[in-house]
A and B are shown apart, each in its own frame.
Chain A
Amino acid sequence: MGKKQTETLVGLFVLAGLLAIVFLALKAANLASFSLDSTYPLLAKFDNIGGLKAGAPVKSAGVTVGRISSITFDNKDFKGVVAMSMDSHYLFPTDTSAKILTAGLLGDQYIGLDPGGDEKNFKAGDTVVMTQSAIILEDLIGKVLYNKVAEAPADGSAKK
Chain B
Amino acid sequence: MTAADIPAAVGRRALGLLATLGHAACFFADLAASLPASLRRPYLTVVQVHAVGGRSLIIIGASGAAVGLVLALQGYLTLSRYGSAGSLGLLVALALVRELGPVLTALLFAGRAGTSLTAEIGLMKAGEQLVAMEMMAVDPRVRVLAPRFMAGIVSMPLLGSVFSAVGILAAYVVGVMLIGIDSGQFWSAMQDGVDVFKDVGNGVVKTLVFGVVTTFIALYVGYESQPTPEGVALATTRTVVISSLSVLFLDFILTALMFSAP
Contact = CB atoms under 8 A, between A and B. Distances in A.
A159 B214 CA distance: 80
A31 interface: yes
A104 to B, nearest CB: 9
B46 A13 contact: no
A147 to B, nearest CB: 31
B191 interface: yes
A24 B262 CA distance: 22
Given A7-B46, A29-B199, A34-B196, A20 B54 contact: no
Nearest to B262: A53
Contacts of A24: 97, 161, 164-165, 168, 200, 203
B254 interface: no
Interface string B41-59: 0010011011001100100
* Interface residue SS majority, chain B: helix
Contacts of B162: 16-17, 20
B262 A28 contact: no
Given A25-B196, A33-B191, A20 B158 contact: yes
B200 A28 contact: yes
B217 interface: no
A12 B204 CA distance: 20
Interface string A1-13: 0010011011011
A30 interface: yes
A7 B199 CA distance: 32
B205 to A, nearest CB: 12
A9 B191 CA distance: 32
B161 A21 contact: yes
* Main DSSP-derived SS at the A contact region: helix
Given A9-B50, A13-B50, A18 B199 contact: no
A16 B57 contact: yes
A88 to B, nearest CB: 21
Interface string B229-262: 0000000000000000000000000000000001
Interface in A1-58: 3, 6-7, 9-10, 12-14, 16-21, 23-25, 27-31, 33-34, 53
Contacts of A9: 50, 54
B204 A21 contact: yes
A7 B191 CA distance: 35
Contacts of B199: 29
B124 interface: no
B123 to A, nearest CB: 21
A7 B50 CA distance: 8
B102 interface: no
Contacts of B204: 21
Contacts of B262: 53
B157 interface: yes
Contact of B165 (A6, A23, A33): A23
Nearest to B190: A28
Contacts of B93: 28-29
Given A6-B47, A21-B204, A53-B262, A28 B158 contact: no
Interface of A: 3, 6-7, 9-10, 12-14, 16-21, 23-25, 27-31, 33-34, 53
13 contacts: A13-B158, A14-B49, A20-B158, A21-B157, A21-B200, A24-B161, A24-B164, A24-B165, A24-B168, A24-B203, A27-B191, A28-B97, A30-B192
Sort A-B residue pairs by CB-CB distance and give the 7 closest, nearest first.
Answer: A17-B158, A30-B191, A20-B161, A20-B165, A13-B54, A29-B194, A29-B196
Given A21-B204, A29-B195, 14 more contacts: A6-B47, A13-B50, A13-B54, A13-B57, A13-B158, A16-B158, A17-B162, A18-B158, A20-B165, A28-B165, A28-B191, A29-B199, A30-B190, A30-B192
